[in-house]
Each structure stands twice: as structure tokens, then as C-alpha cells.
Amino acid sequence: MNSNQLDGTLNDAAGKVQDAVGGLTGDLDLQAEGKARQVAGKAQAKYGDSVEQIAETARNNPLGALVIAVGVGFLLGRLL
């Protein structure tokens, strides 16, 4: 588990607590902030999952990763 996955999961959990407290106290701003924090936490965790998957693929197939990196570099060079 990388830091983005961990931070995202923690932010999602904190947002759920914040949302619940806002609902119990009737504080709509706190509740909305909690919902926004949940969405941001889930997005960060998904990003962490993607990074982890790409790293695993590169470890399992280093030659393929190198070819893709060279191809992307070539395309960027042509565009610029």
C-alpha cells in the first residue's frame, strides 16, 4: 500500500465522520465539507491504486515499460 492509498482511505474515513457529525448537529456546511472530503479521499485512493498497478506492471515487464516510455517520449518530442 502506497502513501496515496493510505492518505485517501484516511481522508475518506474522516469525511464520513465529518458528514455524520454534521448530520447529527444540523451543520450543513460541515456535512457538505465531509462529503467533499470523502470524494477527494476516494479519488486519491484510486490514484494510488493506479500508480501501484503501473509499478507492478513495469516490474513484471520491464522491457515493455521501456518501449512504452520511449514511444511516449518520441511522441512528445514530435509534438513539441
- Sorted by sequence, the CB contacts under 8 Å of residue 31 that are 6+ apart come out as 18, 19, 22, 23
The pLDDT tens digits for 34-59 are 999 999 999 999 999 999 999 999 99
Residues in the chain: 80
Per-domain residue ranges of the chain: 3-79
The amino acid present at 43, given as its one-letter code, is A
Q: Which pLDDT band, with edges at 50, 70 and 90, does 71 fall under?
A: very high
The amino acid present at 68, given as its one-letter code, is I
DSSP state letters, 2-69: -HHHHHHHHHHHHHHHHHHHHHHHT-HHHHHHHHHHHHHHHHHHHHHHHHHHHHHHHHH-HHHHHHHH
